[in-house]
Amino acid sequence: MKDQEYERVMELESRKLAQEHNRQIIIQTQKEVEKNNDSIAELINNKLHEHNIKSFDIVGAIGAGKTAILEKITDILSQKYKILVICGDITTRVDADRIQKKNVDTIQINTGRECALNAYYILKIVKNIDLKKYNLIFIENVGNLICPAEFQLGMDKRIIIVSTTEGEWVIEKHPLLFRMSEIAIINKIDLKERLGTDLDKMVNDAKEINPNIKVILTSAKNNEGIEEIVKELNL
């Protein structure tokens, strides 16, 4: 999208921000966010490409290990790249504080009652940071396997994370996000035996739902599969 279009959305957004104490305006804005989400996402992606930034959007079940995996991969990647991690949660900045220890910049978004981030949140960040500072952006979405499907965030690739503790049916029950993702991580394989989770079924389900998806088995606890994720990012 052209710079003019970017400026127009920025201007619109600034005006909304100025009015954010007006309840009625906030409600209108929410509707507009949903309507315009995809075009805002496209705009964000173009802006990141202009700055040669590669970007990844991580979604997954609550507690599947999104932050744990991010801690591990940023630990490796921060030796070579300048990284920003944006974390979405209903409340607290626990995840951002955890990842910040890995020598990367972090921004925590608290969504309140909303069960997913949307492009509007990300636009606010993109327009307020110096993009020249970064080569890589990761977003950890709110832990949820349903809501994030509604909102593209303007990242290059989506990574979905589930784990052995959610049971072997978790993938077949949530096909949409698997269809929309490029990489599927099945984490906590160190617990597979103890839980009796049928890992083969999980892998097969992911492949059946999306034959193009790359499935990676990991244990963030034991560092298994972490290098494979880094390789698959194709940086």
Enumerate residues 6+ apart whose C-beta is below 8 A from 36.
Answer: 9, 119, 120
| 148 counts as binding ligand GTP under rule CB under 6 A | no
With CB under 5 to 8 Å by kind, the binding choice for 60 among ligand GTP, Mg ion, none is: ligand GTP
For residue 220, the partner it binds in Mg ion, ligand GTP, none, with Cβ less than 5 to 8 A by kind, is ligand GTP
Contacts of 182 (CB under 8 A, 6+ apart): 157, 158, 159, 212, 213, 214
Q: Residue 181 touches which of Mg ion, ligand GTP, none (CB < 5 to 8 A by kind)?
A: none
Residues found in the chain: 235
Instruction: Indicate which of ligand GTP, Mg ion, none lies near residue 175 (CB less than 5 to 8 Å, by partner kind).
Output: none
Using Cβ positions, the residue closest to ligand GTP within the complex turns out to be 143
Minimum distance from CB of 140 to ligand GTP (Å)? 6
Binding to Mg ion by residue 67, rule CB under 5 A? yes
221 binds, among Mg ion, ligand GTP, none (CB under 5 to 8 A by kind): ligand GTP
- Mark 93-126 as b/e (b = at least 16 C-beta within 10 Å): eebbebbbebebbbbbbebeebebbbbbbbbeeb
What residues contact residue 8 under an 8 Å CB cut-off, 6+ apart? none
Binder of Mg ion out of 95, 114, 168, 205 (CB under 5 A): 95
CA 181 to chain centre: 11
Helices and strands per DSSP (H, E), number in the chain: 10, 7
Q: Which is nearer to Mg ion, 161 or 209 (CB)?
A: 161
Alpha-carbon torsion, ordered 88, 91, 96, 99, to 10 deg: -90
Q: Which stretch binds ligand GTP (CB under 6 A): 6-14, 18-26, 27-35, 182-190?
A: 182-190
Among 62, 90, 146, 235, binds ligand GTP (CB under 6 A): 62
Structure tokens that stand for 118 in this block: 């949307």
- Residue 66 sits in the site that holds Mg ion (CB under 5 A): yes
Cα–Cα dist 104/101, whole Å = 7
- Which of 16, 82, 157, 221 is the binder for ligand GTP (CB under 6 A)? 221
Query: Given the rule CB under 5 A, which residues bind Mg ion?
Result: 66-67, 95
